[in-house]
Chains A and B, each alone.
Chain A
Amino acid sequence: MHLDKDILNRFIDGELAPAEMVQVAQQLASEPGWSAYLRSQEKLKTVLAERFRQVETTVPQRLIDAAKKAPLSPWWTAQMRLREILAMRWLIPAGSLLAASLFVLWFAAPSGLLMEDASGHMIAGARLAETLNTQLASAGNPSATTQIGISFRDRTGHDCRTFVSGSNAGLACHQDDAWQIQVLASTAREDPGAAYQMAGAAMPPAVRDRVQAIIAGSPFDAAAERAARDRHWSGQ
């Protein structure tokens, strides 16, 4: 794919198809010439996020009213609900770093990234759950839409895995027959050289910090990862 600013803008905004998102991310890793532009645009998003509430007033009232009355799709309604949930649970206590990430969080959701269980917990959707259940990072699958980072056991005995899907990264732990989402964040970071690498190497600080907070021992090696999968991530 030929990279240009239009493509990169759509990439940053999560407007490309999942396969295209992965392809662009891979190309960016090998085409550092775009790093200045990416850095500029991520900085711009951060600045706008910091000005979020005030900037809302720049949207004409007629559009705000129209947006509230518009017959939104079930998908978009779900994303707004997701946005509210994420804002309540993670973004406010986590501060502006994650707030800046909000812009891209919901774009992966239509492909089955997240859902809410009966208790209101955020859990992996069907497609992500399937990936978390079956995909071995040690086996390698660079063409997969969702990439698995590291797997490990947490201090409460649950098996956990990090993942990257499009421009989102997260941590999920297997509990009560579901993958409970512990944290979700954008892979966009301040250091553009590493901003769009895939899998565990480019885990956002929020994900990395959460891993460090709950991990018991070391991440699984290939044999342990395979064994955990064969035990259906049942933990200890």
Chain B
Amino acid sequence: MELHAVDAALQTLPDEQREALALVLIEGLPYRQAADLLGIPIGTLTSRIGRARQSLALALGV
């Protein structure tokens, strides 16, 4: 898979989803820690990650 395609897909995400995804999937923070860092409830974080995952998977065709 072309790496620029990954970048392009990431850039299509709303900032709030990209932040949540990056903190958890890339930085490896636990949900609680990521939620605290973003100042949002853990349920909100979970839903943002879920939407981000879905969008990325669709965009990248994985």
Contacts and interface: CB of A to CB of B under 8 A. Distances in A.
Interface of A is mostly: helix
Count class of interface residues, chain B: 20 to 34
Contacts of A45: 25
A230 interface: no
Contacts of B11: 58
Given A15-B30, A76-B30, A54 B7 contact: yes
A10 B46 contact: yes
Nearest to B47: A6
B1 A47 contact: yes
B60 A58 contact: no
Interface size on A, as a range, is 35 or more
Interface in B12-61: 15, 18-19, 22-31, 33, 36-38, 46-47, 49-50, 53-54, 56-57, 60
A9 interface: yes
* Most A C-beta atoms less than 10 A away, residue of B3, B28, B57: B28
A59 B23 contact: yes
Contact of B23 (A63, A102, A106): A63
Nearest to A75: B30
Interface string A1-31: 0000110011001010000000000000000
B52 to A, nearest CB: 10
Contacts of B36: 70
A145 B24 CA distance: 24
A79 B33 CA distance: 13
B53 A44 contact: yes
A231 interface: no
Given A5-B50, A44-B56, A58-B18, A51 B27 contact: no
Contacts of B30: 15, 76, 107
A197 to B, nearest CB: 22
Contacts of A9: 46, 49-50, 53
A79 B29 CA distance: 10
A218 interface: no
A48 B25 CA distance: 8
Contacts of A54: 3, 7
12 contacts: A6-B50, A44-B56, A47-B60, A54-B7, A56-B27, A58-B11, A59-B26, A60-B15, A70-B33, A76-B29, A76-B33, A79-B28
Interface of B: 1, 3, 6-7, 10-11, 15, 18-19, 22-31, 33, 36-38, 46-47, 49-50, 53-54, 56-57, 60, 62
